[in-house]
Each structure stands twice: as C-alpha cells, then as structure tokens.
Amino acid sequence: MLYVVITFLWASILLYLLLGGADFGAGIIELFTSEKNRSRTRKTMYQAIGPIWEANHMWLIIAIVILFVGFPAIYSTMSVYLHIPLTVMLMGIIARGTAFAFRHHDAVVDDWQTVYNRIFTWSSVVTPLFLGIIAGSAVSGRINPAAGNFLDAYVFSWLDWFTVAVGLFTVAICAFLAAVYLIGETDNEMDRRRFIHKTQSSNIAAVICGALVFTAAHFEGIPLMHWIFGNLVGVFSIIAATLSLVLMWYLLRKGKTKILRLLAGSQVTMILLAVTWHHFPRIVLFTNGGYLSLMEHHGHDKTIASLGWALLLGSIFILPALFYLIYSFQQKNGNGVEEAH
C-alpha cells in the first residue's frame, strides 16, 4: 500500500504541475500579451479552462492531504522551515482564485476589471515561483534544523540562487504548458499564430531558466549534475525530453495540436521524473546530511492502508467523471462555453 500512496502523491504533484501549471501559465501569458490582444487571450483562456478550473487545483489539495495523513513528519517539517514561502504561495492562491472568479462573475463590468486582471496576472507569476522555490529548497539540502537564529532557520532555508532559479524555471514551464495548450483552443488563424509564437518564446525561456538552474546549482555547491545524470533513468528522461523538444519545434509549424500537447506534457513528466528519481525516497534533505524519507517517515501501517484504499476508491469516482468533464467541453459543438459577459 505504501507504494500505492507514493504513486498517488507523485501523480498528484505531476498533475498539479501539468494542469494547475497550464492554468497559472495562462495568467503568465496574459501578462506578456500586448494590450490590444489581451481581452481575446482572456476569452480563449476562460473558454478553455473555465469548466475544469476548480478541478485543476484539487490536485494540490490531494497532495497535501496525502502528505499530512501519510507522511506527517515531512509535512510538519516543511511547514515549520518553509513557513514564509508557503505563506507567500498561499497569498498567491487566494489572490488568484478570487480574482479569477471576480472578473468573470462580477455583475457589472467596469474599471474594477482592471484591478482583478492585474491581481490575477501577477499572482499567476508569484504562485508558481514560490512553488518552485519550495520544491527547490526541500530537495537541495538547505533546511538546517540546528540553525540558531531566525534568518538561518526560516529564511536561508529556502532563499538562495538555486531555489530562485528553480522557481523561475517553474514559471517558464507553466507558461510553456499554457501556450501549447491554448494553440488548440483558438478559433482563428491569427490567435493560433500568436500562441505558436508564445510557445516558442516560453520554450526558449524555459531552456534558459533550466541552464540557470544548473549554473546556480554549481555555485551553491549542489551536485545537480550527479543527481540527474548519475543514473540511467535520469539520463534517458533528459534525452527523451530533448528529443521530443526537437520534434516539437518541427511539429509546431504543422500545428498538430493533440500531438503537441502530448509532447509538452511528456517533456514536463520526464523532467519531473529525472529530478525525483535520484532523490527517491528522500524528499526533504537537511544541511547536516540528514533527510526525511517516504519509505521511513510515514504514518502507521494502518493509516497508510486506509489512506491507500481511500485514494483508490476515490479515483474510481473521480477519474471517469473528470474525463467526462474534459471530454464534454472539448467537443466543440458550436455552443461554446457560456461567457459571463
């Protein structure tokens, strides 16, 4: 059962990165869209993600619940040392979720829309940035339980060049996922071109940020190269990701949206696989070389068993319903999603 639970944890993190990520990315893209195209981008985005919007963010809740029920030591340690970035991320989640609802459901359309839009786009950047920072700091061995003062314990446990680079990389990935996704959601050639262009630029940004991550790791003395290239799975994932990148650039011109989405999704999956493979099962590393491991620091067997059953049972209900939801709103029957205004 422990493996079932760990699989669910990994899968919900992946799905949050893919679906929630595309969702954040839509906001990031809006930020980088010229004034005159913004409202069209917004409309495309709303039609694309409106119906599945709430569901996309449930993956985060699932991951958190798995952590605090199944791996309480990991959850509470991260909560203590990463309190500040977690709080910032929460602020981002609050701002983004409410601004999204406000701008689409406000009964009167007036200047307030500008306020909602601004909050929405900026929090779309801040939230994944801090998600990346949190992930980066957990695995990079920054957390120092022996720290004697506030700064060392609660600030430098998450703030350095490496974690910031991981944060930026996450932001770029989100934008990339969204751009690829939106290519298939437009109804006219001009927008399609715009999103293809956005895909290319966000992809370049992701590659640059990726390089930044490696550079920062080098300066911070983190053996990232070894983590990723020190094992076959890592090497293969990175090779696969690179190959599919080449393929994708080629296909971008042809505009095969389904394949493009698949490729983008698998690239991100490969990257997550590469970075988690070496670490597994250790997901929180300390400065003193200690660690918290999924295999050792889990709840009691009975807890894990019931958690596993709850997850399995839940997926029987959730997955078909979710697929049907996505499927129904993918069918373009000319009706379109009802827009708020």
> What is the pattern of x (binds another protein, CB under 8 A) and - over residues 176-195?
--------------------
Q: Which of 37, 54, 226, 295 binds another protein (CB under 8 A)?
A: 54
Triad 267, 67, 287: Cα angle to 5°: 80
Binding partner at 250 among ligand HEM, another protein, none, C-beta below 5 to 8 Å by kind: none
Between 97 and 255, name the residue whose CB sits nearer to another protein: 97
Do residues 210 and 216 touch, judged by C-beta distance below 8 A? no
Tokens of 310: 């709850």
Whole-number minimum distance, CB 148 to another protein, in Å?
12
Q: Which of 3, 7, 37, 54 binds ligand HEM (CB under 6 A)?
A: 54
Binding partner at 76 among ligand HEM, another protein, none, C-beta below 5 to 8 Å by kind: another protein
Smallest CA-to-CA distance from 67 within 321, 264, 284, 274 is with 284
Between 197 and 332, name the residue whose CB sits nearer to another protein: 332
Between 90 and 235, name the residue whose CB sits nearer to ligand HEM: 90
Q: Which of 295, 328, 330, 332 binds another protein (CB under 8 A)?
A: 328
- Element at 275 (helix H, strand E): helix 257-279
Q: Which of 1, 31, 50, 231 binds another protein (CB under 8 A)?
A: 50
Whole-number minimum distance, CB 135 to ligand HEM, in Å?
20
> What is the pattern of x (binds another protein, CB under 8 A) and - over residues 99-138?
-xxx-xxxxx------------------------------
In the complex, residue closest to ligand HEM by CB: 61
User: Looking at the DSSP assignment, which residues form a beta bridge with residue 284?
Assistant: 292
The number of beta carbons lying within 10 Å of the beta carbon of residue 286 is: 17
Between 54 and 301, name the residue whose CB sits nearer to ligand HEM: 54
Whole-number minimum distance, CB 40 to another protein, in Å?
16
Total binding residues toward another protein, as defined by CB under 8 A = 69
Tokens 């422990």 identify what position? 2
Whole-number minimum distance, CB 142 to ligand HEM, in Å?
27
Which residues from 199-238 bind another protein, rule CB under 8 A?
none
Interhelix angle 83-105/112-139, nearest 10 degrees: 150
Triad 326, 68, 291: Cα angle to 5°: 115
Do residues 197 and 213 touch, judged by C-beta distance below 8 A? no
Which residues from 55-74 bind ligand HEM, rule CB under 6 A?
61
Residue 313 vs residues 122, 307, 310, 337: alpha-carbon distances, Å: 38, 10, 5, 31
Smallest CA-to-CA distance from 65 within 29, 113, 12 is with 12
Long-range contacts of 64-69 (CB under 8 A, 24+ apart): 66/5, 66/8, 66/9, 66/12, 66/307, 66/311, 67/9, 69/299, 69/303, 69/307
Rounded Cα–Cα distance for residues 75 and 89 (Å): 16
Between 83 and 261, name the residue whose CB sits nearer to ligand HEM: 83
Whole-number minimum distance, CB 197 to another protein, in Å?
29
Do residues 137 and 82 touch, judged by C-beta distance below 8 A? yes
Give residues in contact with ligand HEM (CB under 6 A): 54, 61
Give residues in contact with another protein (CB under 8 A): 50-55, 57-58, 60-62, 64-66, 68-70, 72-73, 75-80, 83, 86-87, 90-91, 93-94, 97-98, 100-102, 104-108, 150, 153-154, 299-300, 302-303, 306-307, 310-311, 313-314, 317-318, 321-322, 325, 328-329, 333, 335, 337-341
